[in-house]
Amino acid sequence: MSRIKEGLIGYDELDEDTGWYAPVAKKMVDELVEYQVYCMSLSEITQRVARQVREDYYSQDILLMHESYKKVFGTQEEDR
């Protein structure tokens, strides 16, 4: 690819030491996550986890959600 095209599309050659795939980047992210979680209150952690679990259920097919519900509660929720 020409340098002009690379500049136009924003392609930058990745440096092994600064790219997201570098081992040091993973370690830095892990440390930042650990620090952020350490600084959160229990209610904030609970809210974030609940939001993530809710998003996971809404991203599934409705039939999978019904199966999960049956496994936990034993019956399907009836429309009221």
Give the domain extent around 5: 1-39
d(CA 29, CA 20): 10
Q: Is the pLDDT of residue 19 over 90?
A: no
Measured at the alpha carbon of residue 13, what is the angle toward residues 10 and 19, in degrees to the nearest 5?
A: 105
Mean pLDDT of the chain: 83
What pLDDT, on a 0 to 100 scale, did the predictor assign at position 38?
93
Q: Is the pLDDT of residue 23 over 90?
A: no
Residue 34 lies in a domain: yes
pLDDT band at residue 32 using 50, 70 and 90 as cut-offs: very high
Pure H helices in the chain: 3-9, 23-39, 42-59, 62-73
This prediction has a pTM of: 0.55
One domain for residues 35 and 66 = no
Residue 5 lies in a domain: yes
One domain for residues 47 and 28 = no
Q: Is the pLDDT of residue 20 over 90?
A: no
